[in-house]
Amino acid sequence: MSCTSGCATRRRRADAAAEVKPRAFKIPESVLVVIHTPALEVLLIERADQPGYWQSVTGSKDRSDEPLLETCVREVAEETGIVIGSDAVPQAALRDWALSNVYEIYPVWRGRYAPGVTHNTEHVFGLTVPAGIAVTLNPREHLRHQWLPFRAAADHCFSPSNAEAILHLPRFVQPGAAR
C-alpha cells in the first residue's frame, strides 16, 4: 500500500510536533551583575517588557548545575554584548561580592516559574569595565541603556535589591578608584 500526499502531510505535522519542546520553567536562582567603570559610573538597561523599569544585568541559571560565574558571563554577553574574558574585560574584572538576596518574584513575571514558586535567590556580582566600552543591547530584552553615577543609578532602579547592590559598589572597587 502506498502513502498518498495526505499521509506525507500527517507525517510532516507529527515530525514538527515532535520538534516543539515545551518551554522550561525558569530556575529561581539568578545573578545580578552591577557593571561599572573605575569612576563608579553604573550601566543601567531598560526592560523591553516593562518600559520605564531600569536595572543592572540579571538572569537565571540555564540549568541547576550551571556555575554562577558561567551564568554571569552568559547573561552579560546576551544582554549587553560585553564579553567577559576578552582583552578589554578580563575574567578578573568579574568579582563575586558574596552577597545574595531572597526576594518575592513580582507577580507579572511569576508565570515564568513552576507553579508554586514565589521566591528567587539572587547572587550579586560586580564587573569593572573601561569607560566608553561599547554596549549592544538585545532588543527583545532591553530598549535603552545609560551610564549614571552610582548613587543616581541606585535611585533609578525599579528593584530594591538592585538599588541596594549598587549602593554597595564603593566597598568593592579596587583601591585608587574614584569615589
Asked if the model's pLDDT at residue 45 lies above 70, the reply is yes
pLDDT confidence of residue 86: 96
Is the CB of residue 34 less than 8 Å from the CB of residue 127? yes
How far is residue 123 CA from its own chain's centroid?
A: 11
Higher pLDDT, 173 or 122: 122
- Locate 2 and state its grid cell: 502506498
- Locate 112 and state its grid cell: 515564568
Asked if the model's pLDDT at residue 160 lies above 70, the reply is yes
Which element (helix H / strand E) includes 36? strand 29-36
Beta strands in 37-167 (DSSP E): 41-47, 54-55, 57-60, 94-104, 119-128, 142-149
Mean pLDDT across the chain: 88
pLDDT confidence of residue 25: 93
- Locate 20 and state its grid cell: 516543539
Give the model confidence (pLDDT) of 96-115 as tens digits: 999 999 999 989 889 999 99
Q: Flag whether the pTM goes above 0.85.
A: no
Confidence of residue 174 (pLDDT cuts 50, 70, 90): low
Asked if the model's pLDDT at residue 177 lies above 70, the reply is no
Give the model confidence (pLDDT) of 63-92 as tens digits: 999 999 999 999 999 999 999 999 999 999
- Locate 159 and state its grid cell: 528593584
pLDDT confidence of residue 109: 87
pLDDT confidence of residue 179: 40
